A = this chain, B = another copy of it.
Amino acid sequence: MRWIRYTLDGETRYGILEDNDRITAVRGDPFSGHETTATRLDLGDVKLEVPVVPPTFYCVGLNYVKHIGTVGLNIPTKPDVGYRANNALVAHGEDVIMPADANRIHYEGELVVVIGKKTRNIGIDEVAQCILGYTIGNDVSERDWQATDRTFWRSKNADTFKPMGPWISTSADLPAMETTVSVNGQETTRFHTAEMLFGIEEFISTMSRYITLHPGDILWMGTDGHSPNLQHGDRVDVTLTGLGTLSNRFVTAGRN
């Protein structure tokens, strides 16, 4: 089942995506309950929105060995989660605006876990029950600012630096899943999504010892590999097997 969030006639709602291009409108949402309606819409007739605006936006850094090598950092010894910021979220199909003073903009294709219910202090075996589903994120990063600023406030959280979508799939075949990224249709990165240092179960179970997870919270699981420097006009597609493709064009601020 695939949850989609869209805007039509100025109203933003949830729907269920069927047959890749038809939406069944619902009343309610995937977190607090819903009922389907008789309304059917074409995917092409609505504006896609990010599939959820999270209460808290968690993001794992340094969770794949090859990526850690490229940024020259030590391999983490425990699952310490980090944060990203809601101001930076944009939907599938929206532009990533590269600030005019940005230099080295990279993509990071990531699996995103969406929390479905209030969760505290759970074991590894209970994690699956608290997950609503999965979507795709692109943790866009400006590497010069990442190296010189004390925090990720603009290197990873400038407006439009967090594309997420296109929708939430309630199931995923994680062991078989691959993440591929392409720039202008040319594949540039491919990795086995499950080859994480610390997996979803370990992160969520550990976090839940100190933190209450809430419906709609999201957890981005980190990336592997290396991105070229992106240029004005590049289109970046992040595909996760079975989940779909998150596609965004990168444009420099002030250029057409």
Q: Which residues of B contact A81 (CB under 8 A)?
A: 151, 153
In the complex, the answer to whether A149 meets B85 with C-beta atoms within 8 Å is no
The answer, yes or no, to whether A154 is at the interface (CB within 8 Å) is yes
In the complex, the answer to whether B207 meets A153 with C-beta atoms within 8 Å is yes
Q: Which residues of B contact A78 (CB under 8 A)?
A: 149
Q: Which residues of B contact A212 (CB under 8 A)?
A: 87, 159
Smallest CB–CB gap between A104 and chain B, Å? 16
Q: How far is the CA of A213 from the CA of B62 in the complex (A)?
A: 28
Pick the most buried of A61, A82, A120: most chain B CB atoms within 10 A of its CB.
Answer: A82
Q: How far is the CA of A98 from the CA of B161 in the complex (A)?
A: 35
The answer, yes or no, to whether A56 is at the interface (CB within 8 Å) is yes
The answer, yes or no, to whether A233 is at the interface (CB within 8 Å) is no
In the complex, the answer to whether A213 meets B83 with C-beta atoms within 8 Å is no
Q: How many residues of A contact B (CB 8 A)?
A: 33
Q: Which residues of B contact A211 (CB under 8 A)?
A: 85, 87-88, 153-154, 157-159
Q: How far is the CA of A157 from the CA of B56 in the complex (A)?
A: 11
Q: Which of A230-249 contact B (CB under 8 A)?
A: none
- The binding surface of chain A is classed by DSSP as loop
The answer, yes or no, to whether A199 is at the interface (CB within 8 Å) is no
Q: How far is the CA of A150 from the CA of B62 in the complex (A)?
A: 10
Q: Which residues of B contact A210 (CB under 8 A)?
A: 99, 153-154, 157-159
In the complex, the answer to whether B159 meets A80 with C-beta atoms within 8 Å is no
Pick the most buried of A62, A86, A150, A157: most chain B CB atoms within 10 A of its CB.
Answer: A150
In the complex, the answer to whether B154 meets A82 with C-beta atoms within 8 Å is no
In the complex, the answer to whether A87 meets B55 with C-beta atoms within 8 Å is yes
Q: Which residues of B contact A55 (CB under 8 A)?
A: 53, 86-87
Smallest CB–CB gap between A255 and chain B, Å? 17
The answer, yes or no, to whether A214 is at the interface (CB within 8 Å) is yes
The answer, yes or no, to whether A69 is at the interface (CB within 8 Å) is no
In the complex, the answer to whether B80 meets A150 with C-beta atoms within 8 Å is yes
Q: How far is the CA of A56 from the CA of B99 in the complex (A)?
A: 21
